[in-house]
Amino acid sequence: MKILTILGARPQFIKAGSVSRAISLHNNKVANEEKIKTKNQKLITEIIVHTGQHYDANMSDIFFDEMKIPKPNYFLGIGGKSHGAMTGQMIEKIEEVALKEKPDWIMVYGDTNSTLAGAIVASKLHIKLAHIEAGLRSFNMKMPEEVNRILTDRVSNILFCPTDTAIQNLKNEGYENLDCKIVKSGDVMQDGAMFYKSLAVKPNIEFKKDFILCTIHRAENTDDEIRLKNIFEALNEIAKEKQVILPLHPRTKKILENLKLDINNLTIIEPVGYLEMVWLIDNCDFVMTDSGGLQKEAYFFEKQCITLRDETEWVELVACGANTLVGANKDKILEAYKKNSEFRIQNSELDLYGSGKASENIVKGLWDV
Ligand code: UD1
Ligand code: UDP
């Protein structure tokens, strides 16, 4: 079986890392099997295409190096462009690679422009498409991610869903009547968090007593001056009392450079690698973020999360009390900060995202279609 994996943005390197590891475990197992005849048919060859959507060393290379993710076979170098230019150029280049490699599967992750480009190529060339993190919805069509994930789901042959909610979303949209397979795989980010926890690295920065870990990068916040101002005013105020460590996404950095906001109390650092990030999550008091991935990671490490968005795809975290949605309202952010020091979930027996076996479930699932 040959898989063409398409990735390009930071969270995709982290997610794909776990699946690549499961693929090599699968191949090792097959190699040790006794029935020699079927061995070659059962082996998986993974060809990795990096679109170049994220390209700074600390947004891309660091993950491949630190996490020992297999290096991409193709690097397309398409980043820092408008949605149309980026997605269009990715489609053109991924198509060339797909025609040359003739994979059995194209595999895409999440909801970025790289995801959509891979999905469109697969559907046009009639290559089977596997979507990992399928079925998630924010029900906000203004988000580029919502458009990308809906379009990708619709042309996928197998939809690997991380949660029961994701499955239900697909059922509500009539997916049971479509020619595709829906599988509850669990969440690949949980696999990564469990695997890398013991390898965490303390970043070389000045720490005060306790700290909040914060990230901001979503377009709905960065591209709306009022929202961004409210968020940073609240964070700066909080940072007078408690250290706020903010590894700053380059998108947000560029926008902040042109706004005259008072952010002097914040501990702003460059984006960090995953091993440093895991250390920060594991050692912080709690998390404030608009990231999708970080909301779940906070839960994996039993940290309360304040989400600086109006809605979330990870609704089960809000339902169990681990996550508070505050949008970009300064008063709500400050109020949530005052309440949010202890991790509290209503049912500690909850197994919301699988038990760290999502990647293995995905590799198994591909053989059944
Ligand atoms: C993208 C995804 C978003 C995801 C995020 C993960 C889309 C539409 N959005 O958003 O869903 O949450 O990745 O981090 O796909 N930049 C750099 N260096 C880099 C990368 C980006 O300077 O290595 C700057 C460039 O100015 C670029 C801007 O950030 O134009 C935005 O990058 P882009 O990839 O378009 O979107 P993200 O905001 O990163
Ligand atoms: N992350 C990281 N370094 C950072 C910030 C985030 O390794 O400086 C990790 C984070 O732990 C999570 C992933 O990047 O695993 C989330 O990516 P991001 O927030 O960029 O995207 P989203 O999940 O919102 O799509």
- Flag residues of the chain having pLDDT under 70: 35-37, 39, 347-348
Domain 2-187+354-368 indexed as CATH 3.40.50.2000? yes
Quickly list H helices, 161-300: 164-172, 188-196, 219-222, 225-238, 250-257, 274-283, 292-300
Nearest-atom number in ligand 2 for the CA of 9 is 20
* 288, 212 contact by CB (below 8 A): yes
11 lines ligand 2 (CB under 6 A): yes
- Eight-state DSSP code of residue 321: T
Residues whose CB falls within 8 Å of the CB of residue 85, separated by 6 or more in sequence, listed in order:
none
User: What residues does each domain of the chain span?
Assistant: 2-187+354-368, 201-340
Distance CA 210, CA 215 (A): 17
Question: Ligand 2 center to residue 90 CA distance, Å?
Answer: 22
Interior/surface letters 288-318, b for 16+ CB within 10 angstroms, e for the rest? bbbbbbbbbbbbbbebbbbbbbebbbbbbbb
Residue 53 Cα to ligand 1 middle (Å): 7
Please give the angle made by the CA atoms of 135, 136 and 138, to the nearest 5 degrees.
140
Phi, psi of 219 (to 5 degrees): -55, -40
User: Which one of the ligands is nearest to 11 CA?
Assistant: 2
How many whole angstroms separate alpha carbon 208 and alpha carbon 88? 46
- Give catalytic status of residue 217 as yes or no: yes
The response to whether residue 112 sits with its C-beta less than 6 Å from ligand 1 reads: yes
Place of tokens 């906000």: 140
**How many CB atoms lie under 10 A from the CB of residue 203?**
18
Q: Is 346 helix (H, G, I), strand (E, B) or coil?
A: coil
Which pLDDT does position 339 carry in this prediction? 86
Question: Which two structure tokens, joined as six digits, stand for 188?
Answer: 């690949």
Amino acid at 351: D
Task: Tell whether ligand 1 has an atom less than 6 A from the beta carbon of residue 50.
Answer: no
2-187+354-368 shares its CATH topology with 201-340: yes
Closest-lying ligand to the alpha carbon of 147?
Answer: 1
Q: Would the CB of 203 count as within 6 Å of ligand 2? A: no
Superfamily designation of domain 201-340: Glycogen Phosphorylase B; (3.40.50.2000)
pLDDT of residue 322: 94
- Please, where are the H alpha helices in the chain? 10-31, 39-42, 61-66, 83-101, 113-125, 144-154, 164-172, 188-196, 219-222, 225-238, 250-257, 274-283, 292-300, 315-319, 330-339, 358-365
Looking at residue 348, what is its pLDDT?
66
pTM of the model: 0.97
pLDDT for the residue numbered 36: 66
- CB of 292 sitting under 6 A from ligand 2: yes
